[in-house]
Amino acid sequence: MVAVGNNVHIFARPSRRGALRSLFETVLSCQVATVEHPGMVEPMLIVRLPGGGHISIEFVDDADDADQPRLATWLELRTADPAALMKTVLGAGLREVKHPGHPYYFMAPGGQVFTIAPAKE
C-alpha cells in the first residue's frame, strides 16, 4: 500500500522568507521554527500545521519564483470551515486562484498554490 506522507518540502527564494513566515504563523495560525541545517546556506523554516503534518521550506536563490500561480505541485490544506479560512487568507492580502477543482485556492508568496478543502471526518 502506498500513501502520501504528512511532510512536504518546498523551495523558495530568500527574499520570500518574511512573507512566508507571516502566511503560516499569522494568517494560518501554525507554529513556525527556524532551523539551521548543515550544508544549507540559509536556515529553513519548519511549519507545524495544527491539524497534523509539517512543511519545510528551504531557501535557495534559484528557486522557482513567480507573481503568478505556478503550474507545479499544488498542496491541499484541510479545515473544518474552508470558507472562513479562505476569507482570512484573502483578508491578509493573498491572491485568490480560480480553478474548477475546488472552490478555494490561494497563492502564497512566490507562486505556490494551496487549495482549502473540508476536513475529513
Per-domain boundaries in the chain: 7-118
- Give the containing element (helix H, strand E) for 44: strand 44-48
Superfamily of domain covering 7-118: 2,3-Dihydroxybiphenyl 1,2-Dioxygenase, domain 1 (3.10.180.10)
Identify which of 89, 12, 100 has the alpha carbon closest to the alpha carbon of residue 55: 12
CA-to-CA separations, 112 to 16, 42, 108, 109, in angstroms, rounded? 11, 19, 5, 7
Per-residue pLDDT in tens (0 to 9) along the chain, 121 residues: 777 789 999 999 999 999 999 999 999 999 999 999 999 999 999 999 999 999 999 999 999 999 899 888 899 999 999 999 999 999 999 999 999 988 999 999 999 999 999 998 6
